Amino acid sequence: MTTETILIIGSNGQIGTELAEVLRASYGTDNVVCSDLKKPEITPGPFEIIDIMDREGVYTIIKKYKVTQVYLLAAMLSATAEKNPKFAWDLNMQGLFNILDAAKEGIIKKVYWPSSIAVFGPTTPSVNTPQYTIMEPNTIYGISKQAGERFCEYYFQKYNVDVRSIRYPGLIGYKSAPGGGTTDYAVHIYHEALKNGKYTCFLNEKTTLPMMYMPDALKATISLMEAPAEKVKIRSSYNIAGMSFNPLEITEAIKKHIPNFTIDFAPDFRQAIADSWPQSINDQEARNDWGWKNDFDLQKMTDDMIFNLKKINLF
């Protein structure tokens, strides 16, 4: 029987919706408490309204459930953050401090906090980007993630806080909607392909970005959290890679199922964000340290996305 009680903060979002399912399947429904700013219509297990900015409120819920691990997913993503940089910085940083401090004070044992490929910037080598390299992000989201990584490592070194983190690429899944990122097109494209047979992409055709199918991201997250502490050698955040593609390549993969599917392009402000990010990621450290290995490439993900979206939405 598990002795862990897990709190997911930001559980209504793209990752949280799916992470709650897999954590509950493995740790038991009642041992995983979900939380967000609003209560969703369906709550298959314990749910609490939490504003991550409200330190007292967060501590009250942690104590109420005797929480041992927190997965902190509440944040503002790259595209939305550019529209409200000050608020994004406050949310992304204060939220992290509230949880790192709870761990420092010993009221929780383990923290998961996701970083992003957005920590890299235009001066980073963009192909096969290594774990350790130049990092000069020029988006507020990337700046907050880079600062967050530095604080995670600092709290580990100074206060022995067991914090673990992954630099996710753009995540793609069929169970939940993306929440305001630059890579969101790679989810929308499947829905539009099935609904309308065409899609207008907000990035140009040559924009190659690192991406990952949600089952791989969930597998990585849980493997890292369950790895023995001595195997987690990086306490800032780990590079992980799944696949890399541009809008034309995902179009070709979709056309294997929907031959008449067409795409056109109307790049907007998100193009500059995408242009500042790497095209592909080197994840050797994650593979060596805790055995990370992806399962999905572009075509395998596309086959699964289309199969499941058809099943769910009856397109």
Active site residues: 141
Classify residue 199 by burial, with Cβ atoms within 10 Å: 0-12, 13-18, 19+.
buried
36 binds, among ligand AKB, ligand NAD, none (CB under 5 to 8 A by kind): ligand NAD
Is residue 36 a contact residue for ligand NAD (CB under 6 A)? Answer: yes
CB of 259 to ligand AKB, least distance (A): 29
Which residue's CB atom is positioned nearest to ligand NAD? Answer: 13
Q: How many residues bind ligand NAD (CB under 6 A)?
A: 28
Sheet containing strand 115-116, edge to edge, reads 115-116, 166-168, 238-239
CB of 79 to ligand AKB, least distance (A): 6
Pairing outcome for strands 166-168 and 238-239: parallel
- Distance, first Cα to last Cα, the chain: 42
- What DSSP designation does 272 have? H
- Alpha carbon distance 267, 185 (integer Å): 11
Is residue 114 a contact residue for ligand NAD (CB under 6 A)? Answer: yes
Is residue 181 a contact residue for ligand AKB (CB under 6 A)? Answer: yes
- What DSSP designation does 122 have? T
The structure tokens 């050797």 sit at 284
Nearer to ligand NAD (CB atom), residue 37 or residue 262: 37
Is residue 71 a contact residue for ligand NAD (CB under 6 A)? Answer: no
8 binds, among ligand AKB, ligand NAD, none (CB under 5 to 8 A by kind): none
Q: Give CA separation, 136 vs 111, 119, 123, 145, 272, in Å.
A: 26, 7, 7, 11, 15
**x/- site string to ligand AKB, residues 113 to 132, per CB under 6 A?**
---xxx--------------
Among 6, 8, 77, 194, binds ligand NAD (CB under 6 A): 77
CA 234 to chain centre: 18
Under 8 Å between Cβ of 52 and 100:
no
Is residue 98 a contact residue for ligand NAD (CB under 6 A)? Answer: no
**x/- site string to ligand AKB, residues 81 to 120, per CB under 6 A?**
-----------------------------------xxx--
Give the range of 46-54, 153-161, 231-239, 305-313 binding ligand NAD by CB under 6 A: 46-54
Among 14, 31, 124, 221, binds ligand NAD (CB under 6 A): 14
- Alpha carbon distance 295, 130 (integer Å): 21
Nearer to ligand AKB (CB atom), residue 61 or residue 214: 214
Under 8 Å between Cβ of 155 and 161:
yes
Under 8 Å between Cβ of 255 and 261:
yes
What radius of gyration do the chain's Cα atoms show?
19
13 binds, among ligand AKB, ligand NAD, none (CB under 5 to 8 A by kind): ligand NAD
Nearer to ligand AKB (CB atom), residue 33 or residue 91: 91
Q: Which of 250, 283, 227 is nearest to 112 (CA)?
A: 227
291 phi and psi angles, rounded to 5 deg: 75, 25
182 binds, among ligand NAD, ligand AKB, none (CB under 5 to 8 A by kind): ligand AKB
Under 8 Å between Cβ of 18 and 177:
no
* Position 290, amino acid: W
Which stretches of the chain bind ligand AKB, using CB under 6 A? Answer: 77-78, 116-118, 141, 170, 181-183
Which stretches of the chain bind ligand NAD, using CB under 6 A? Answer: 9-10, 12-16, 36-37, 50-53, 73-75, 77, 91, 114, 116, 168, 170-171, 178-181, 183
